[in-house]
A and B are shown apart, each in its own frame.
Chain A
Protein backbone atom coordinates (compact mmCIF):
# COMPACT_ATOMS: atom_id res chain seq x y z
CA UNK A 1 0.00 0.00 0.00
CA UNK A 2 1.22 3.46 -0.87
CA UNK A 3 2.39 5.19 2.30
CA UNK A 4 1.31 8.67 3.27
CA UNK A 5 4.38 10.86 3.20
CA UNK A 6 5.81 13.13 5.87
CA UNK A 7 7.77 15.98 4.34
CA UNK A 8 9.88 18.41 6.34
CA UNK A 9 10.10 21.75 4.57
CA UNK A 10 13.30 23.74 4.62
CA UNK A 11 12.94 27.44 3.88
CA UNK A 12 16.32 28.57 2.61
CA UNK A 13 17.64 32.11 2.56
CA UNK A 14 21.16 32.90 1.31
CA UNK A 15 22.14 29.28 1.78
CA UNK A 16 20.78 28.91 5.35
CA UNK A 17 17.62 27.26 6.63
CA UNK A 18 15.26 29.81 8.23
CA UNK A 19 11.80 29.77 9.78
CA UNK A 20 9.37 32.63 10.28
CA UNK A 21 5.71 33.41 10.71
CA UNK A 22 3.74 34.45 7.64
CA UNK A 23 7.03 34.60 5.71
CA UNK A 24 8.34 37.20 8.22
CA UNK A 25 10.49 37.39 11.39
CA UNK A 26 12.92 34.79 10.11
CA UNK A 27 14.99 32.74 12.56
CA UNK A 28 18.09 30.78 11.63
CA UNK A 29 17.69 26.99 11.62
CA UNK A 30 20.97 25.73 10.20
CA UNK A 31 22.79 24.31 7.16
CA UNK A 32 20.53 22.86 4.42
CA UNK A 33 22.64 19.81 3.59
CA UNK A 34 23.11 18.87 7.26
CA UNK A 35 19.38 19.30 7.82
CA UNK A 36 18.58 17.13 4.81
CA UNK A 37 20.96 14.38 5.93
CA UNK A 38 19.47 14.48 9.42
CA UNK A 39 15.90 14.15 8.14
CA UNK A 40 16.82 11.38 5.72
CA UNK A 41 18.29 9.42 8.63
CA UNK A 42 15.16 10.13 10.64
CA UNK A 43 13.12 8.42 7.86
CA UNK A 44 11.56 11.53 6.34
CA UNK A 45 9.89 10.43 3.10
CA UNK A 46 10.85 13.43 1.08
CA UNK A 47 12.14 16.98 1.47
CA UNK A 48 11.10 20.34 0.13
CA UNK A 49 13.56 23.22 -0.17
CA UNK A 50 11.99 26.60 -0.65
CA UNK A 51 14.41 29.32 -1.63
CA UNK A 52 12.81 32.40 -0.18
CA UNK A 53 15.54 34.72 -1.44
CA UNK A 54 14.49 33.80 -4.96
CA UNK A 55 16.58 36.41 -6.73
CA UNK A 56 18.35 35.91 -10.01
CA UNK A 57 21.76 36.49 -8.37
CA UNK A 58 20.98 33.77 -5.89
CA UNK A 59 20.34 30.98 -8.46
CA UNK A 60 23.93 29.74 -8.20
CA UNK A 61 23.72 29.36 -4.42
CA UNK A 62 20.58 27.27 -4.86
CA UNK A 63 22.08 25.06 -7.56
CA UNK A 64 25.15 24.46 -5.38
CA UNK A 65 22.95 23.50 -2.47
CA UNK A 66 21.01 21.08 -4.69
CA UNK A 67 24.19 19.41 -5.93
CA UNK A 68 25.61 19.04 -2.44
CA UNK A 69 22.36 17.64 -1.13
CA UNK A 70 21.88 15.17 -3.99
CA UNK A 71 25.39 13.84 -3.50
CA UNK A 72 24.76 13.05 0.16
CA UNK A 73 21.06 12.41 0.58
CA UNK A 74 19.31 9.60 -1.26
CA UNK A 75 15.66 10.38 -0.75
CA UNK A 76 13.58 12.48 -3.12
CA UNK A 77 13.53 16.23 -2.76
CA UNK A 78 11.81 19.15 -4.42
CA UNK A 79 13.12 22.66 -4.91
CA UNK A 80 11.01 25.77 -5.22
CA UNK A 81 11.34 29.54 -5.16
CA UNK A 82 12.36 31.89 -7.92
CA UNK A 83 12.00 29.38 -10.77
CA UNK A 84 10.97 31.36 -13.84
CA UNK A 85 11.34 29.19 -16.91
CA UNK A 86 12.21 25.85 -18.50
CA UNK A 87 15.91 26.64 -18.34
CA UNK A 88 15.82 27.14 -14.54
CA UNK A 89 13.92 23.86 -14.23
CA UNK A 90 16.41 21.94 -16.38
CA UNK A 91 19.38 23.23 -14.37
CA UNK A 92 17.85 22.16 -11.05
CA UNK A 93 16.83 18.69 -12.27
CA UNK A 94 20.23 18.05 -13.80
CA UNK A 95 21.83 19.14 -10.52
CA UNK A 96 20.00 16.37 -8.68
CA UNK A 97 16.58 17.76 -7.71
CA UNK A 98 13.80 15.21 -8.26
CA UNK A 99 11.05 17.76 -8.49
CA UNK A 100 10.71 21.45 -8.96
CA UNK A 101 7.95 23.52 -7.46
CA UNK A 102 6.58 26.51 -9.34
CA UNK A 103 4.20 29.12 -8.00
CA UNK A 104 4.28 32.71 -9.31
CA UNK A 105 5.78 31.66 -12.66
CA UNK A 106 2.91 29.21 -13.23
CA UNK A 107 0.29 31.87 -12.54
CA UNK A 108 2.01 34.30 -14.89
CA UNK A 109 2.37 31.67 -17.58
CA UNK A 110 0.22 28.57 -16.97
CA UNK A 111 1.61 26.92 -20.10
CA UNK A 112 4.96 26.64 -18.32
CA UNK A 113 3.38 23.68 -16.48
CA UNK A 114 2.61 22.02 -19.80
CA UNK A 115 6.03 22.61 -21.29
CA UNK A 116 7.79 21.39 -18.15
CA UNK A 117 5.72 18.22 -17.83
CA UNK A 118 6.14 17.38 -21.53
CA UNK A 119 9.88 17.83 -21.35
CA UNK A 120 10.69 16.37 -17.94
CA UNK A 121 7.61 14.32 -17.02
CA UNK A 122 4.64 15.19 -14.78
CA UNK A 123 6.21 13.46 -11.79
CA UNK A 124 8.73 16.27 -11.35
CA UNK A 125 6.35 19.22 -11.76
CA UNK A 126 4.91 20.41 -8.46
CA UNK A 127 2.58 23.39 -8.58
CA UNK A 128 2.67 25.29 -5.29
CA UNK A 129 -0.45 27.20 -4.37
CA UNK A 130 -0.49 29.79 -1.59
CA UNK A 131 -4.16 30.17 -0.74
CA UNK A 132 -5.93 32.59 1.56
CA UNK A 133 -9.47 32.49 2.83
CA UNK A 134 -11.69 35.14 1.35
CA UNK A 135 -13.22 37.36 3.95
CA UNK A 136 -15.31 40.38 3.14
CA UNK A 137 -13.68 43.17 1.17
CA UNK A 138 -13.95 45.48 4.18
CA UNK A 139 -12.04 43.23 6.52
CA UNK A 140 -9.29 42.75 3.94
CA UNK A 141 -8.83 46.50 3.85
CA UNK A 142 -8.81 46.73 7.63
CA UNK A 143 -6.10 44.08 7.78
CA UNK A 144 -3.91 45.91 5.31
CA UNK A 145 -3.96 49.04 7.44
CA UNK A 146 -2.25 47.14 10.21
CA UNK A 147 0.50 45.41 8.26
CA UNK A 148 3.09 46.58 5.76
CA UNK A 149 2.08 46.02 2.20
CA UNK A 150 3.88 44.60 -0.73
CA UNK A 151 2.43 44.86 -4.17
CA UNK A 152 3.84 43.52 -7.39
CA UNK A 153 6.78 42.20 -5.45
CA UNK A 154 7.85 45.58 -4.13
CA UNK A 155 7.58 46.12 -0.42
CA UNK A 156 5.89 49.36 0.54
CA UNK A 157 5.32 51.08 3.86
CA UNK A 158 1.97 51.93 5.35
CA UNK A 159 1.70 55.24 3.59
CA UNK A 160 -1.75 56.54 2.83
CA UNK A 161 -1.36 56.36 -0.95
CA UNK A 162 -0.35 52.72 -0.62
CA UNK A 163 -3.45 52.01 1.39
CA UNK A 164 -5.54 53.68 -1.26
CA UNK A 165 -3.82 51.63 -3.91
CA UNK A 166 -4.45 48.44 -1.99
CA UNK A 167 -8.11 49.26 -1.49
CA UNK A 168 -8.54 49.65 -5.20
CA UNK A 169 -6.62 46.48 -5.91
CA UNK A 170 -8.51 44.48 -3.32
CA UNK A 171 -11.81 45.55 -4.78
CA UNK A 172 -10.61 44.81 -8.25
CA UNK A 173 -9.36 41.36 -7.37
CA UNK A 174 -12.82 40.32 -6.32
CA UNK A 175 -14.23 41.13 -9.72
CA UNK A 176 -11.32 40.67 -12.11
CA UNK A 177 -7.77 39.35 -11.69
CA UNK A 178 -5.03 41.95 -11.56
CA UNK A 179 -2.34 41.96 -14.16
CA UNK A 180 0.71 40.47 -12.47
CA UNK A 181 3.02 40.15 -15.42
CA UNK A 182 3.59 40.81 -19.07
CA UNK A 183 1.80 37.61 -20.10
CA UNK A 184 -1.92 37.51 -20.69
CA UNK A 185 -3.94 37.19 -17.52
CA UNK A 186 -4.69 33.51 -16.93
CA UNK A 187 -8.39 34.24 -16.55
CA UNK A 188 -8.43 35.76 -20.01
CA UNK A 189 -8.45 32.26 -21.45
CA UNK A 190 -9.53 29.88 -18.74
CA UNK A 191 -11.93 31.76 -16.46
CA UNK A 192 -10.45 30.80 -13.10
CA UNK A 193 -11.28 34.10 -11.46
CA UNK A 194 -13.05 34.46 -8.16
CA UNK A 195 -16.81 34.18 -8.04
CA UNK A 196 -19.19 34.79 -5.12
CA UNK A 197 -18.94 31.08 -4.25
CA UNK A 198 -15.12 31.14 -4.08
CA UNK A 199 -13.68 30.49 -0.65
CA UNK A 200 -9.92 30.79 -1.17
CA UNK A 201 -7.82 33.11 -3.31
CA UNK A 202 -4.39 32.39 -4.78
CA UNK A 203 -1.58 34.71 -3.72
CA UNK A 204 1.81 35.00 -5.41
CA UNK A 205 5.19 36.65 -4.84
CA UNK A 206 5.74 34.88 -1.53
CA UNK A 207 2.20 35.51 -0.38
CA UNK A 208 2.31 39.23 -1.05
CA UNK A 209 0.17 39.65 -4.13
CA UNK A 210 -3.47 38.64 -4.50
CA UNK A 211 -4.30 37.32 -7.95
CA UNK A 212 -8.08 37.24 -8.07
CA UNK A 213 -7.85 33.54 -8.91
CA UNK A 214 -9.87 30.83 -7.17
CA UNK A 215 -7.50 28.32 -5.50
CA UNK A 216 -9.60 25.21 -6.18
CA UNK A 217 -10.11 26.12 -9.83
CA UNK A 218 -6.42 26.84 -10.21
CA UNK A 219 -5.51 23.43 -8.79
CA UNK A 220 -7.78 21.75 -11.37
CA UNK A 221 -6.29 23.84 -14.14
CA UNK A 222 -2.76 22.96 -13.04
CA UNK A 223 -3.63 19.27 -13.12
CA UNK A 224 -5.07 19.58 -16.61
CA UNK A 225 -1.87 21.26 -17.80
CA UNK A 226 0.25 18.37 -16.53
CA UNK A 227 1.18 19.11 -12.91
CA UNK A 228 2.15 15.93 -11.07
CA UNK A 229 1.43 17.22 -7.59
CA UNK A 230 -0.04 20.18 -5.72
CA UNK A 231 1.75 21.74 -2.75
CA UNK A 232 -1.05 23.56 -1.01
CA UNK A 233 -0.20 26.16 1.64
CA UNK A 234 -2.79 27.92 3.73
CA UNK A 235 -1.51 31.44 4.22
CA UNK A 236 -3.91 31.97 7.10
CA UNK A 237 -2.43 29.04 8.98
CA UNK A 238 1.23 29.17 7.96
CA UNK A 239 3.42 29.63 11.02
CA UNK A 240 0.48 29.73 13.44
CA UNK A 241 0.77 26.14 14.79
CA UNK A 242 -3.05 25.98 14.71
CA UNK A 243 -3.24 23.10 12.21
CA UNK A 244 -3.88 22.88 8.48
CA UNK A 245 -6.85 24.60 6.89
CA UNK A 246 -8.77 21.34 6.61
CA UNK A 247 -11.68 22.55 4.43
CA UNK A 248 -9.17 24.03 1.95
CA UNK A 249 -7.06 20.86 1.88
CA UNK A 250 -10.11 18.68 1.42
CA UNK A 251 -11.64 20.89 -1.27
CA UNK A 252 -8.47 20.77 -3.37
CA UNK A 253 -7.71 17.11 -2.72
CA UNK A 254 -11.20 16.07 -3.79
CA UNK A 255 -11.13 18.34 -6.84
CA UNK A 256 -7.98 16.85 -8.38
CA UNK A 257 -6.69 13.39 -9.24
CA UNK A 258 -3.03 14.08 -8.47
CA UNK A 259 -1.38 13.91 -5.03
CA UNK A 260 -1.88 16.90 -2.74
CA UNK A 261 0.66 17.94 -0.09
CA UNK A 262 -0.96 19.81 2.80
CA UNK A 263 1.06 22.69 4.19
CA UNK A 264 0.82 25.55 6.65
CA UNK A 265 0.03 25.52 10.35
CA UNK A 266 1.20 22.24 11.88
CA UNK A 267 1.74 22.56 15.63
CA UNK A 268 1.28 18.99 16.82
CA UNK A 269 0.95 15.41 15.62
CA UNK A 270 -2.83 15.43 15.58
CA UNK A 271 -2.64 18.14 12.94
CA UNK A 272 -0.72 15.75 10.68
CA UNK A 273 -3.36 13.09 11.24
CA UNK A 274 -6.18 15.54 10.52
CA UNK A 275 -4.51 16.66 7.30
CA UNK A 276 -4.54 13.08 6.02
CA UNK A 277 -7.74 11.71 7.59
CA UNK A 278 -9.96 14.78 7.31
CA UNK A 279 -8.18 16.85 4.68
CA UNK A 280 -7.60 13.79 2.43
CA UNK A 281 -4.01 14.89 1.79
CA UNK A 282 -1.57 12.38 0.28
CA UNK A 283 1.37 13.93 2.06
CA UNK A 284 1.83 16.31 4.96
CA UNK A 285 4.43 19.01 5.11
CA UNK A 286 5.69 20.70 8.26
CA UNK A 287 8.63 22.84 9.21
CA UNK A 288 8.97 24.24 12.72
CA UNK A 289 7.75 21.21 14.70
CA UNK A 290 10.60 19.23 13.16
CA UNK A 291 13.24 21.97 12.98
CA UNK A 292 12.95 22.86 16.63
CA UNK A 293 12.83 19.14 17.51
CA UNK A 294 9.43 19.35 19.14
CA UNK A 295 8.74 15.97 17.53
CA UNK A 296 10.89 13.56 15.57
CA UNK A 297 9.75 12.18 12.23
CA UNK A 298 9.73 8.74 13.82
CA UNK A 299 7.38 9.90 16.58
CA UNK A 300 5.10 11.37 13.94
CA UNK A 301 5.08 8.12 11.99
CA UNK A 302 4.37 6.01 15.06
CA UNK A 303 1.52 8.34 15.97
CA UNK A 304 -0.02 8.02 12.50
CA UNK A 305 0.52 4.28 12.29
CA UNK A 306 -1.27 3.72 15.60
CA UNK A 307 -4.25 5.52 14.11
CA UNK A 308 -4.36 3.38 11.00
CA UNK A 309 -2.55 5.62 8.52
CA UNK A 310 -0.14 3.68 6.26
CA UNK A 311 3.37 5.02 6.79
CA UNK A 312 6.87 3.84 5.97
CA UNK A 313 8.50 2.68 9.18
Chain B
Protein backbone atom coordinates (compact mmCIF):
# COMPACT_ATOMS: atom_id res chain seq x y z
CA UNK B 1 0.00 0.00 0.00
CA UNK B 2 1.19 3.46 -0.90
CA UNK B 3 0.41 6.24 1.57
CA UNK B 4 -0.45 9.58 -0.03
CA UNK B 5 -0.13 12.20 2.67
CA UNK B 6 -3.10 14.49 3.17
CA UNK B 7 -2.22 17.75 4.87
CA UNK B 8 -5.11 19.95 3.86
CA UNK B 9 -5.19 21.98 0.71
CA UNK B 10 -3.62 19.87 -2.03
CA UNK B 11 -5.03 18.00 -4.99
CA UNK B 12 -4.58 14.40 -3.86
CA UNK B 13 -7.11 13.00 -6.25
CA UNK B 14 -4.95 13.15 -9.41
CA UNK B 15 -1.87 11.48 -7.91
CA UNK B 16 -4.01 8.80 -6.26
CA UNK B 17 -5.86 8.02 -9.49
CA UNK B 18 -2.61 7.95 -11.44
CA UNK B 19 -1.02 5.45 -9.02
CA UNK B 20 -4.18 3.34 -8.88
CA UNK B 21 -4.32 3.33 -12.67
CA UNK B 22 -0.83 1.80 -12.60
CA UNK B 23 -2.05 -1.00 -10.35
CA UNK B 24 -1.01 0.30 -6.93
CA UNK B 25 -3.26 0.31 -3.91
CA UNK B 26 -3.39 3.79 -2.46
CA UNK B 27 -4.42 5.17 0.91
CA UNK B 28 -4.90 8.89 1.38
CA UNK B 29 -3.99 9.53 4.98
CA UNK B 30 -3.11 12.04 7.68
CA UNK B 31 -2.17 9.36 10.18
CA UNK B 32 1.49 8.77 11.14
CA UNK B 33 0.77 5.09 11.85
CA UNK B 34 -0.47 4.48 8.29
CA UNK B 35 2.84 5.89 7.07
CA UNK B 36 4.79 3.35 9.05
CA UNK B 37 2.81 0.43 7.62
CA UNK B 38 2.98 1.70 4.01
CA UNK B 39 5.40 0.23 1.48
CA UNK B 40 6.02 3.68 0.00
CA UNK B 41 5.08 7.26 0.79
CA UNK B 42 4.09 10.14 -1.50
CA UNK B 43 4.08 13.72 -0.23
CA UNK B 44 2.17 15.73 -2.84
CA UNK B 45 1.78 19.42 -2.63
CA UNK B 46 0.41 22.71 -3.57
CA UNK B 47 0.02 25.62 -1.21
CA UNK B 48 2.28 27.63 1.05
CA UNK B 49 5.44 26.39 2.78
CA UNK B 50 4.78 27.65 6.33
CA UNK B 51 1.16 26.55 6.38
CA UNK B 52 2.10 23.06 5.19
CA UNK B 53 4.93 22.72 7.74
CA UNK B 54 2.63 23.86 10.56
CA UNK B 55 0.11 21.14 9.70
CA UNK B 56 2.80 18.45 9.31
CA UNK B 57 4.22 19.32 12.77
CA UNK B 58 0.84 19.56 14.46
CA UNK B 59 -0.34 16.18 13.19
CA UNK B 60 2.91 14.39 13.98
CA UNK B 61 3.35 13.71 10.26
CA UNK B 62 6.67 15.60 10.17
CA UNK B 63 8.37 13.02 12.40
CA UNK B 64 6.65 10.13 10.64
CA UNK B 65 7.88 11.42 7.26
CA UNK B 66 11.45 11.67 8.54
CA UNK B 67 11.29 8.16 9.95
CA UNK B 68 9.92 6.75 6.67
CA UNK B 69 12.52 8.55 4.57
CA UNK B 70 15.43 7.73 6.84
CA UNK B 71 14.23 4.16 7.32
CA UNK B 72 14.83 3.42 3.65
CA UNK B 73 11.21 3.40 2.46
CA UNK B 74 10.69 4.62 -1.14
CA UNK B 75 9.58 8.21 -0.75
CA UNK B 76 8.43 10.71 -3.37
CA UNK B 77 7.88 14.42 -2.71
CA UNK B 78 6.13 16.35 -5.48
CA UNK B 79 6.36 20.13 -6.03
CA UNK B 80 5.82 21.72 -2.59
CA UNK B 81 6.18 18.19 -1.23
CA UNK B 82 9.74 18.23 -2.58
CA UNK B 83 10.49 21.71 -1.25
CA UNK B 84 9.35 20.69 2.25
CA UNK B 85 12.16 18.09 2.31
CA UNK B 86 14.76 20.91 2.38
CA UNK B 87 16.12 22.83 5.39
CA UNK B 88 13.99 25.90 4.73
CA UNK B 89 12.48 28.19 2.12
CA UNK B 90 12.55 31.86 1.21
CA UNK B 91 8.78 31.55 0.93
CA UNK B 92 8.38 31.36 4.69
CA UNK B 93 10.04 31.47 8.06
CA UNK B 94 9.46 27.87 9.15
CA UNK B 95 12.17 25.26 9.13
CA UNK B 96 11.64 22.49 6.61
CA UNK B 97 11.99 18.76 7.21
CA UNK B 98 15.74 18.95 6.64
CA UNK B 99 16.03 15.62 4.83
CA UNK B 100 17.95 17.47 2.11
CA UNK B 101 20.30 20.27 3.12
CA UNK B 102 19.75 23.51 1.25
CA UNK B 103 17.14 26.14 0.67
CA UNK B 104 14.29 27.02 -1.67
CA UNK B 105 14.44 30.27 -3.61
CA UNK B 106 12.01 32.39 -5.64
CA UNK B 107 12.45 32.83 -9.39
CA UNK B 108 13.66 36.22 -10.58
CA UNK B 109 10.82 38.66 -11.10
CA UNK B 110 12.31 39.39 -14.53
CA UNK B 111 10.61 36.16 -15.60
CA UNK B 112 6.93 35.42 -15.64
CA UNK B 113 6.20 33.77 -12.32
CA UNK B 114 4.78 31.15 -11.63
CA UNK B 115 6.91 28.99 -13.93
CA UNK B 116 3.82 27.46 -15.44
CA UNK B 117 3.60 24.82 -18.11
CA UNK B 118 5.72 22.17 -19.82
CA UNK B 119 9.50 22.27 -19.69
CA UNK B 120 12.32 19.85 -20.47
CA UNK B 121 13.77 17.72 -17.67
CA UNK B 122 17.42 16.77 -18.29
CA UNK B 123 18.61 13.62 -16.57
CA UNK B 124 22.01 13.92 -14.93
CA UNK B 125 22.70 10.24 -14.63
CA UNK B 126 21.45 6.83 -15.60
CA UNK B 127 18.77 5.45 -13.36
CA UNK B 128 15.96 2.90 -13.58
CA UNK B 129 13.65 5.87 -12.91
CA UNK B 130 14.30 7.14 -16.43
CA UNK B 131 13.50 3.81 -18.09
CA UNK B 132 11.37 4.39 -21.19
CA UNK B 133 11.76 8.18 -21.07
CA UNK B 134 13.54 10.27 -23.69
CA UNK B 135 16.88 11.62 -22.53
CA UNK B 136 16.74 14.87 -24.45
CA UNK B 137 13.15 16.02 -24.78
CA UNK B 138 11.53 14.74 -21.64
CA UNK B 139 8.69 17.25 -21.20
CA UNK B 140 7.11 17.47 -17.77
CA UNK B 141 4.53 19.83 -16.30
CA UNK B 142 5.54 22.51 -13.79
CA UNK B 143 3.52 25.03 -11.74
CA UNK B 144 5.67 26.76 -9.11
CA UNK B 145 7.27 30.06 -8.11
CA UNK B 146 10.10 28.65 -5.96
CA UNK B 147 12.87 26.17 -6.74
CA UNK B 148 15.26 24.17 -4.56
CA UNK B 149 18.99 24.81 -4.22
CA UNK B 150 20.53 21.66 -2.72
CA UNK B 151 23.68 22.26 -0.65
CA UNK B 152 24.98 18.88 -1.79
CA UNK B 153 25.07 19.00 -5.61
CA UNK B 154 25.39 15.21 -5.71
CA UNK B 155 21.66 14.86 -4.98
CA UNK B 156 20.65 16.68 -8.18
CA UNK B 157 19.15 13.98 -10.41
CA UNK B 158 17.78 16.24 -13.15
CA UNK B 159 17.84 19.90 -14.15
CA UNK B 160 15.53 22.28 -15.99
CA UNK B 161 16.12 25.75 -17.43
CA UNK B 162 13.94 28.70 -16.56
CA UNK B 163 16.15 31.76 -16.42
CA UNK B 164 18.38 29.66 -14.20
CA UNK B 165 19.29 26.01 -14.39
CA UNK B 166 17.55 24.54 -11.37
CA UNK B 167 17.24 21.11 -9.77
CA UNK B 168 13.97 19.75 -11.10
CA UNK B 169 14.58 16.41 -9.41
CA UNK B 170 16.63 15.39 -6.39
CA UNK B 171 17.41 11.94 -5.13
CA UNK B 172 19.35 10.39 -2.29
CA UNK B 173 18.95 6.63 -2.14
CA UNK B 174 15.28 5.94 -1.46
CA UNK B 175 14.21 9.58 -1.20
CA UNK B 176 13.05 11.33 -4.37
CA UNK B 177 11.75 14.80 -4.95
CA UNK B 178 10.38 16.19 -8.21
CA UNK B 179 9.61 19.83 -8.84
CA UNK B 180 7.46 18.77 -11.79
CA UNK B 181 4.11 17.03 -11.43
CA UNK B 182 4.42 13.49 -12.82
CA UNK B 183 0.68 12.98 -12.21
CA UNK B 184 -0.03 15.84 -14.62
CA UNK B 185 2.68 15.17 -17.19
CA UNK B 186 0.71 12.91 -19.51
CA UNK B 187 2.34 9.73 -20.78
CA UNK B 188 5.88 10.58 -19.62
CA UNK B 189 4.62 11.37 -16.16
CA UNK B 190 2.84 8.02 -15.92
CA UNK B 191 5.98 6.20 -17.11
CA UNK B 192 7.94 7.98 -14.37
CA UNK B 193 5.42 6.93 -11.73
CA UNK B 194 5.49 3.37 -13.03
CA UNK B 195 9.28 3.37 -12.61
CA UNK B 196 8.83 4.68 -9.06
CA UNK B 197 6.45 1.83 -8.32
CA UNK B 198 9.01 -0.65 -9.65
CA UNK B 199 11.51 0.80 -7.20
CA UNK B 200 9.19 -0.41 -4.44
CA UNK B 201 9.07 -3.93 -5.81
CA UNK B 202 12.83 -4.19 -6.18
CA UNK B 203 13.04 -2.93 -2.59
CA UNK B 204 10.74 -5.69 -1.42
The answer on a CB contact under 8 Å between A259 and B116 is yes
The stretch of A119-127, A135-143, A240-248, A263-271 that contacts the partner chain: A119-127
Interface positions, chain B 29-83, Cβ under 8 Å from A, are: 46-48, 80
Closest 3 CB pairs of A and B: A96-B13, A123-B143, A312-B118
B116 — which chain A residues lie within 8 A by C-beta? 2, 123, 228-229, 259, 282
Given contacts A75-B186, A228-B114, A257-B113, contact A123 B145 (CB under 8 A): yes
Q: 20 A-B pairs, CB-CB below 8 angstroms?
A: A2-B115, A3-B139, A5-B118, A45-B117, A70-B17, A71-B21, A75-B141, A75-B185, A94-B11, A95-B13, A96-B17, A120-B47, A122-B114, A123-B114, A123-B143, A229-B116, A257-B109, A258-B114, A282-B112, A313-B137
* Residues of A close to B185: CB separation below 8 A: 74-75
Task: Flag whether B194 is at the interface (Cβ < 8 A).
Answer: no
Least distance between B53 CB and chain A CB atoms (Å): 14
Which residue of the partner chain, among B17, B18, B117, contacts A282 with CB atoms under 8 Å? B117
From residue 68 to 127 of chain A, which have CB atoms closer than 8 A to chain B? 70-71, 74-76, 90, 93-98, 118-124
Q: How far is the CA of A118 from the CA of B9 in the complex (A)?
A: 10
Contact with A along B72-111 (1 / 0, CB 8 A): 0000000010000000000000000000000000000100
> Chain A residues with Cβ under 8 A from B198's Cβ?
none
> Out of A70, A95, A121, A228, which one reaches B9, CB within 8 Å?
A121
Cβ-defined contact, B184 with A76, below 8 A: yes
B145 contacts across to A, CB distance below 8 A: 122-123
Residues of B in contact, count (CB < 8 Å): 39
Q: Is the CB of A257 within 8 A of B13?
A: no
- Please give the distance in Å from B137's CB to the nearest CB on chain A: 8
Describe B's contact surface by its main secondary structure: mixed
Per-residue interface assignment for chain A, residues 225 to 236, with 1 indicating a CB less than 8 Å from any chain B CB and 0 otherwise: 000110000000
Q: Is A155 an interface residue (CB 8 A)?
A: no
Chain A: CB-nearest residue to B13: A96
Distance in Å: Cβ of B187 to nearest Cβ of chain A = 8
- For residue A45, give the distance in angstroms from its CB to the closest CB of chain B: 6
Closest to A96 in B: B13
| Structural contact, B17 and A71, CB atoms closer than 8 A | yes
Q: Give the bracket for the number of chain A residues in contact with chain B.
A: 35 or more
Spell out A's residues near B (CB within 8 Å).
1-5, 40, 43, 45-46, 67, 70-71, 74-76, 90, 93-98, 118-124, 228-229, 257-259, 282-283, 312-313
Docked pose: A122 CA to B190 CA in angstroms: 25
Contacts A3-B119, A74-B18 aside, 13 further interface pairs with beta carbons under 8 A come to A1-B119, A1-B120, A2-B117, A2-B118, A5-B117, A40-B186, A45-B118, A120-B9, A121-B47, A258-B112, A259-B114, A259-B117, A313-B137
Please, which residues of chain B bring their CB within 8 A of the CB of A40? Answer: 186
The reply to whether B11 and A2 contact each other, CB–CB distance below 8 Å, is no
- Within the complex, the shortest CB–CB distance from B143 to chain A, in Å, comes to 4
Chain B residues positioned under 8 Å from A3 (CB to CB): 117-119, 139
CA–CA, A312 to B140, complex, Å? 9
Partner of A74 from the list B46, B139, B190 (CB cut-off 8 Å) is B190
**Residue B189 CB within 8 A of the other chain:** yes
Residues of chain A within 8 A of B14, CB atoms compared: 70, 74, 96, 98
